[in-house]
Structure 1
Amino acid sequence: MDAYFVETLVDEDDALVEARESGRLTTMPQAEVAPNQGKLLSLLVRMVGATRVLEFGTLAGYSTVWLARAVGEGGQVTTLELEQQNATVAEKNLERAGVLDRVQIMVGRAAESAQRLIDAETQPYDFVFIDADKPSNPAYLEASLQLSRPGTVIVIDNVVRNGAVIDASSTDDRVQGVRSVLEKIAKDGRLDATSLQTVGSKGWDGFTILRRAR
């Protein structure tokens, strides 16, 4: 089904194909979003009129290309990546896609990079995509809220984990990271959210989408 949807509705040019395939050169091969999810991110950015995007987790920059194209020539994407190896791969892909000039890659621990943005009183972001190490999801959400404004949309990826997220006693810190962030969202009166399961080329997973109301 994913292959059919992608073939029918998702127009991947050579730059996107090369960015996706270059994931094999990163520290987490084949961890990039599926093409139809990349297109979804692009559509969401355009739908909310976002011109400033924050991304947690760059890898080869596949989703970053989708986001950077969506914000347009006057937009800006800040993407946070732990490994220099991945950032180097991503930079080449962004340059090939013609969007390097609108992307800032910050290398280092994402929580620390986000704190630097907070300390610098960075202008709020309109859209945030969280797709990095799952145990840190609660910290990434907290940083995102400090770097956002009312109306900001936040998408958190990989929240189903083949159904393991329903197991409160799981010893998997990735599962607990997801559960913790969902509980945090549920208790925060500023946030309006839902989660959706997905079944496709990336297996059985899903994402949470939320909007900061105030």
Structure 2
Amino acid sequence: MEGFLPVGHAVGWTLASAPVLAWGVFKLKRRLAEQPEQRMLLGVATAFAFVLSALKLPSLTGSSSHPTGVGLGAVLFGPLMMVPVAFVVLLFQALLLAHGGLTTLGANLFSMGIVGPFVAYGVFRLLRGAGLVPAVFAAAALGNLATYVVTSLQLALAFPDASGGVLASFLKFGGVFALTQVPLAIVEGLLTVLIVNALQRFNRDELARFPLFQRSEVKA
């Protein structure tokens, strides 16, 4: 949340995220200039990420968690294009919903907008041969979980345990999120499969333009 990270950590994560964001903006502009017809699907992926990540749910351990929604865009457009999308989503949520914050924007972007999409895309590529449904489900679910693993690490680095250090703090913060985040990751995976299923059914020709979706079928 706003102001939670020490200044040095907030600045450090911002500096780590900035070059990836710039690269993502460049790739996004070039992609849309070459294939402007993909704006509609990009809008769907952006709306999906905004709505899901805005669902702030109480954690069983007293914190709060939310889905990320970045897996859909990652498997469609690749992870780099989701970095500016996640930046816009997180910025609007910080300004309009008091969800996250401006000082923590770099850290939140790194976990949700960089690590999450890259993990999701990597899992999707790895499992694509096993079928579209398991690949999409695993990509969305594991991208979600990876976001919170990194968030736990960010918090552990900022607030190491007095006796156990960073590792003990990481396990503590991971435990805070785990009970709520695991079922949320499963739900996000299922919702992402439903969206891809709908796209396959109603917009198959457009989806076929994406290399990883060519000659693919969604199976029940």
What TM-score do you get using the length of structure 2 for normalisation? Answer: 0.34
- CA radius of gyration, larger in: 2
Higher share in strand: 1
The structure with higher relative contact order (CA 8 Å, sep 6+) is 2
What TM-score do you get using the length of structure 1 for normalisation? Answer: 0.34
